[in-house]
Amino acid sequence: QKEVEQNSGPLSVPEGAIASLNCTYSDRVSQSFFWYRQYSGKSPELIMSIYSNGDKEDGRFTAQLNKASQYVSLLIRDSQPSDSATYLCAVPLPNDYKLSFGAGTTVTVRA
């Protein structure tokens, strides 16, 4: 089983819709979770960190964490063409001093 798995893409949504991205992780003791956005040809940019069960909202982005189910998601509300990018879920491996990344989900927002 991979350490971090993301729902397969690509994901295409119309402008103004909600894009839903999912991520599961294998290590039950993980305590922090991150979402990165990566535009084509650019480096990953941290857009959301979440540490506690429940929802965390930041502008049009909402991260949801369920540690019991080992599941973290990212919702992009009112999707804009500028949201078109690859979104990477990342989970630090405890005492391993590394982030484990999912393969990424590519989102395309249709104008």
Interface positions with other proteins (CB under 8 A): 31-32, 34, 36, 42-46, 49, 51, 88, 90, 92, 96-101, 103-104
Nearest distance from C-beta of residue 3 to other proteins, angstroms: 11
Task: Encode burial over 53-89: b for 16+ CB neighbours within 10 A, e otherwise.
Answer: eeeeeeeebbbbbebeeeebbbbbeebeeebbbbbbb
Q: Which is nearer to other proteins, 25 or 79 (CB)?
A: 25
CB of 76 to other proteins, least distance (A): 20
Q: Of the two residues 42 and 110, which places its CB atom closer to other proteins in the complex?
A: 42
How far apart CA 12 and CA 76 sit, in angstroms, is: 12
